[in-house]
Amino acid sequence: MFKKLRIIFLFSVLLAAVLMASGVQAQASGSVYVLTIKGTINPVLVDYVDRGIQAAEENNASALIIQLDTPGGLDTAMRDIVKLMVNAYVSVVVYVSPSGSRAASAGVFITMASHVAAMAPNTAIGAAHPVSIGEEGEEAMSETMEEKVLNDAAAYIRSLAESHGRNIEWAEKAVRESVSATENEALELNVIDLIAYDLNDLLAQLDGREVELIHGQIVTLHTAGATVIDFGMTGIENFLYTIADPNIAYLLLSIATLGIMAEIFNPGLIFPGIVGGISLLLAFYSLGVLPVNYAGILLIVLAIGLFIGEVLTTTFGLFTAGGVISLVAGSLMLFKGAAPEFQINPWLIAGVCIVITAALAFLVQRAISAHRKQAVTGREELVGKTALVKVALNPEGTIFYKGENWTAISESGKITAGEKVVIKRIDGLLLYVVKQPKEPAGKKSKR
């Protein structure tokens, strides 16, 4: 009996040892997920980071690395990403790379929130002052509100820096004074944890490092020889991230304007209306995730209304002039007060305004021509034409024109049969005519 128990005990110990060994081996040769953030921070990236963290957690990844290169972005999106990072059950490493990259504004907060912060050579970090309360924002934000926003941002980044043992004073200066640092300065100031030349160097330096997660769990990173999984955006995420750009949003809004106007002025074309409608919906999505100024949107809508009014009423350029002024003003105000990365390229504004103005000028010219153009169908076609008198006009009689006899009244006295008359106007089925002027003496008709 005791012999059997001893055998079972030894077998259990051996099995446990094998499982532990296999567990250590799996951890040592585990996987590392790599996410890439390049560009402004917006809500699309929140979903991307969330999906990446979930995948890393579900697959027991050794670490999740975010390769970061950003000029900043939306505060709300940045805070959502930070919350995902600090509450993750996997170690999150932010790596400002490749060389020439930066982690500015919102990127500083994301870097500070990481369990391990690293930078590549020739990179920079800093300038985290809230731009919405900068020089342009002071017009729309009271001094008290400005102080509240600034203090909130400073407290937030102090908390992130303190939780990971980083330089609290520098972090606060990055918010209040917009200070920046190179990778060497950041390492010396204890803003980051290490400098890595490339991803392989980063994995080598991370191996064996202990990291404390927010839940109090201490984990040791085993990244040497780990399988690197490049966790990229999906096609839809890439598309949405691309159009969530101020210049793209403005361009979509412009295409929507041209398409819808073309459909209104030429009913039945269908294609311009479809393109315009799709562009308008995409523009609404883009503007919905960007810090837009609603006064700018209203001015652009007013411009569209004036353009439509011009073609429908033909004010000979008055509505067009007002529409162009409203369009330019709305374009300049669309992202007024936002960070520089959310400003529209002035050359794009100029190009769009020129194209829309040219299109309107063409439509207005056609409308004016249509008003001035003589009708070519129906009875109105007769006005100005020459006819032959069949029954003398005294003043009423009959004239012949293109195979038809018409009752006519002379407005230039009696006209005998055989003479030619010019039709001046029409009243119902009655034509009013005058005698055709005689050709000057000596001038002969060419045959």
Please give the positions annotated as active site. 105, 148
Q: Please provide the distance, in angstroms rounded to a whole number, between the alpha carbons at the two ends of the chain.
A: 136
Query: Please, what sign has the CA dihedral across residues 323, 326, 332, 337?
Result: negative
Q: How far apart are CA 199 and CA 207, in angstroms?
A: 12
DSSP 390-428: EE-BSSEEEEEETTEEEEEEESSS-B-TT-EEEEEEEET
Say which amino acid occupies 264: I
Whether 58 and 89 have beta carbons less than 8 Å apart is answered as no
Pair type for strands 420-427 and 386-391:
antiparallel
- The CB density around residue 384, as the number of other CB atoms within 10 Å, is 11
- Which contacts of 219-226 are long-range, i.e. CB under 8 A and separated by 24 or more positions? 219/91, 221/62, 221/63, 221/91, 221/116, 222/27, 222/28, 222/29, 222/30, 222/62, 223/32, 223/62, 223/63, 224/28, 225/28, 225/29, 226/29, 226/30, 226/31, 226/32, 226/62, 226/63
- 421: number of Cβ within 10 Å: 25
Q: What is the largest CA-CA distance in the chain?
A: 147
